[in-house]
Amino acid sequence: MRSELVIITPELACGSGGLADHTLALLEHWGALPDVTLLVAKPTGAVPPASANVQQLGTSQHDILKQLPPESGTIFLQYSAYGFDQFGYPRNLIKALIDWKTQTRGRLVVMFHEIWSFWPVTNKNFYVQQLHRRLVRRLLQTCDAVFTSTDSQGEHLRQLCNGVPIQVLCVGTNIRRHNPTPRQRDDGVAALFGLQLARIRTLESMQKNLAALAAAGRIKKLVCVGREADAETARRERELLNQLNFADGFVQQGPLSEPAVSELLSSVRFGVFGQNELSCCKSGSFMAYAAHQLHVVAEFANPSKPPPVCWLVAPSELLGGIDESELHRRAECLRMWQEQNCSWDLIAGRLGEALGIEKCSAVTP
Same-domain status, 205 and 240 = yes
Please check whether residues 200 and 289 belong to one and the same domain. yes
In the structure, what pLDDT confidence band is assigned to residue 268 with cuts at 50, 70 and 90? Answer: very high
Q: What is the DSSP letter of 282?
A: G
Q: Please tell me the predicted confidence (pLDDT) of residue 216.
A: 96
Q: How confident is the model at residue 228 (pLDDT cuts 50, 70, 90)?
A: confident
The mean pLDDT of the chain is: 91
pLDDT interval class at 51 (50, 70, 90):
low
pLDDT band of residue 324 (cuts 50, 70, 90) is very high
Q: Has residue 353 got a pLDDT over 70?
A: yes
pLDDT tens, 88-145? 999 999 999 999 999 999 999 999 999 998 888 888 889 999 999 999 999 999 999 9
Residue-level pLDDT at 239? 96
The pLDDT assigned to 361 comes to: 42
pLDDT exceeds cutoff 70 at 262:
yes
Range of the domain at 87: 5-172+343-355
Strand partners, 76: 7, 109
Rounded to 5°, the CA angle 38-342-44 comes to 25
Q: How many residues does the chain have?
A: 365
pLDDT at 33 (0 to 100): 83
Q: Is the same domain home to 249 and 329? A: yes
Instruction: Identify whether residues 134 and 251 lie together within a single domain.
Output: no
pLDDT of residue 240 exceeding 50, the answer is yes
Could you tell me the CATH number of the domain that includes residue 258?
3.40.50.2000
Q: What's the confidence (pLDDT) of residue 358?
A: 66
pLDDT score recorded for residue 182: 65
In whole angstroms, give the CA distance from residue 26 to residue 87. Answer: 28
- Torsions phi, psi of 42, nearest 5? -125, 85
Q: What angle do CA 192, 196, 199 make, to 5 degrees?
A: 40
Q: Do residues 96 and 104 make contact, with C-beta atoms less than 8 angstroms apart? A: no
Highest-pLDDT range among 11-15, 93-97, 104-108, 175-179: 93-97
Phi, psi of 111 (to 5 degrees): -110, 110
Averaged pLDDT, 276-291: 92
Residues 333 and 193 in one domain: yes
pLDDT at 10: 95
How many domains does one find in the chain?
2
Question: Beta-carbon neighbour count of residue 275 at 10 Å?
Answer: 18
pLDDT for res 359:
54
Q: In the prediction, which pLDDT does 71 show?
A: 81
Q: Tell whether 221 and 273 lie within a shared domain.
A: yes
Q: CB neighbours of 48 closer than 8 A, spacing ≥ 6? A: 38, 54
> Residue 2's pLDDT is what?
44
Quote the longest CA-to-CA distance of the chain.
64
Q: Is residue 88 in some structural domain?
A: yes
The pLDDT of residue 363 is 43
Is 114 found in the same domain as 192? no
What confidence score (pLDDT) does residue 77 get? 98
* Cβ atoms of 172 and 343 closer than 8 Å: yes
State the Cα–Cα distance between residues 162 and 296, nearest whole angstrom.
36
Please, which pLDDT band fits residue 227 given cuts at 50, 70 and 90?
confident
Q: Which residue has the higher pLDDT, 125 or 240?
A: 240
**Is 363 part of a structural domain of the chain?**
no
Q: What is the pLDDT of residue 213?
A: 98
362 within domain boundaries: no
Burial track 191-202 (b if 16+ CB lie within 10 A, e otherwise): bbbbbbebbbeb
Q: Are residues 165 and 191 in the same domain?
A: no
Name the band, by pLDDT with cuts 50, 70 and 90, for residue 328. Answer: very high
| pLDDT greater than 90 at residue 215 | yes
One-letter amino acid for residue 210 of the chain: L
One domain, residues 254 and 139: no
pLDDT confidence band for 14 (50 / 70 / 90): confident
Least confident of 138-147, 178-187, 324-333: 178-187
pTM of the complete model: 0.82
Assess whether 162 and 190 both reside in one domain: no
Q: Do 125 and 240 have their domain in common? A: no
